[in-house]
Amino acid sequence: MARIIMQPSGKSVDCAYGDTVLMGLEKAGYALPNNCRAGACGECKVKVTGGQFDQGMVLDMALTQEERKQGYGLMCMAKPISEELTIEWGTTDAQPKLFPPREDALFVVTEKRPIAQRVVELRLRPVGQPIRYWPGQYVTIGNSRAGIPPRAYSISNAPRPDGELVFQVARDEGGVTSNWVHDQLNIGESIKISGAYGTFIGDPSVDTPVLCLAAGTGLAPILALAEAALRRGYKKPVTMLFSARTKDDVYSQGLMAWWRTKHRNFDYKVTLTRENLEGYLAGRVDVVLPQLFPDLSKHTIFAAGSPEFVDTCRATVKQLGAKDELIHTEGFFAQQQPVVANADRLLPL
Ligand SMILES: Cc1cc2nc3c(=O)[nH]c(=O)nc-3n(C[C@H](O)[C@H](O)[C@H](O)COP(=O)(O)OP(=O)(O)OC[C@H]3O[C@@H](n4cnc5c(N)ncnc54)[C@H](O)[C@@H]3O)c2cc1C
Ligand code: FES
């Protein structure tokens, strides 16, 4: 068993013999950025300032010879061979660092399809470098030349090596940008997006059962968080409750059904607020939650959707015993300015 010490916080975690540093950190609940987990993308690069490690086979383009000389390593493949290994990771409080947002990154719309009554799904591929983000964050999309104001849209997928971003955009009656996305933005067009923004990201130190609550397109950041957690082998139960008005407003059920089949600890339920149908729960979250989860005192909660929905969720889960520090919310406020984290939470460029 080796010990991995994180600087500047000084916190440490154990790393079992044969485990990579990334595995050791993840098992202890720390979220080091990663993507390919195979020494090919460079996403998990950190500086090692003390101790020795076996780097294993990694690609030169992911870790150059110069970087090796400077002490950098790829933690998805690195295994400690000394008793202690000191790495530069996180803030002084051992919080994960966020990526500095990029302005006007060029993307191409590679796919657009309706997925529910009022929702289209967009797939965008980067022309240059992918945007780096944490699951749960959002970007702004608009078209300044056409007078379409930038609006916040949550990324609904966990980071992928090709940098593809998936969005779910609901038509807001009378709204400018969402209607432009629905009616005018076409497959093959280039658009500029900025981000990533926001701090609705998984708390890396969490090791509790998780309850995710989403209404409408609030499902987007929740899907990204769940995909990332399941991908890294999160073991505690993860339950998703999706609230929709009618069956026609429900989407991504195939993906959730696949997760439920593949991961024993994942389950999802759908509640309809304006329809009573077999196979679905009926009623708003404040009605169905107390029956499903009478005691939430040990749960971490993620809730996303309209500000009213998020407020209802917060009040309801608190009544069921959820602790303030374990409640994370993302309200889809109209025309919110992008939220950029404090400088000490940003990674150096
Ligand atoms: C962090 C975050 C993440 C988000 N993620 C998503 C997401 O993943 N998917 C998604 O679909 N949405 C998301 N949103 C919401 C999104 O950013 C937009 O607010 C939404 O798409 C509406 O934008 P719009 O330009 O179409 O509407 P706007 O033009 O901003 O109008 C909003 C509403 O105000 C009304 N309105 C406009 N002008 C007036 C006026 N003069 N008087 C009275 N009423 C008026 C419109 O009818 C409309 O109902 C997110 C929001 C935030 C803050
Ligand atoms: S995650 Fe891709 S190199 Fe480590």
pLDDT, tens digit, 9 for 90 and up, residues 309-338: 999 999 999 999 999 888 998 988 876 556
- Measured between alpha carbons, how far is residue 336 from residues 116, 137, 192, 198 in Å? 25, 14, 18, 11
pLDDT tens digits along 265-323: 999 999 999 999 999 999 999 999 999 999 999 999 999 999 999 999 999 999 999 99
pLDDT tens digits along 214-230: 999 999 999 999 998 89
Pocket perturbation via mutation, ligand 2, pick of 41, 89, 162 by most ligand atoms within 8 A of CB: 41
Tell me, using a 6 A CB cutoff, whether residue 332 lines ligand 1: yes
The DSSP code for 56 is: -
Tell me, using a 6 A CB cutoff, whether residue 238 lines ligand 2: no
pLDDT tens digits along 149-199: 999 999 999 999 899 999 999 999 999 999 999 999 999 999 999 988 887
Tell me, using a 6 A CB cutoff, whether residue 59 lines ligand 2: no
Pocket perturbation via mutation, ligand 1, pick of 112, 122, 139, 153 by most ligand atoms within 8 A of CB: 153
> How is residue 321 written in tokens?
């015993």
What are the chain's domains? 2-88 (3.10.20.30), 102-197 (2.40.30.10), 210-331 (3.40.50.80)
DSSP state letters, 177-231: HHHHHHHT--TT-EEEEEEEE------TT--S-EEEEEEGGGHHHHHHHHHHHHH
Q: Whose CA is nearest to atom 44 of ligand 1?
A: 174
Q: How far apart are the first and last CA of the chain?
A: 33
Rounded Cα gap, residues 269 and 267, in angstroms: 7
Average pLDDT of the chain?
Answer: 91
Closest ligand 2 atom to the C-alpha of 39? 3
The burial of 349, by beta-carbon neighbours within 10 Å (0-12 exposed, 13-18 middle, 19 or more buried), is given as: exposed
Ligand having the closest approach to the CA of 120: 1
Per-residue pLDDT at 205? 61
Rounded Cα gap, residues 301 and 209, in angstroms: 9
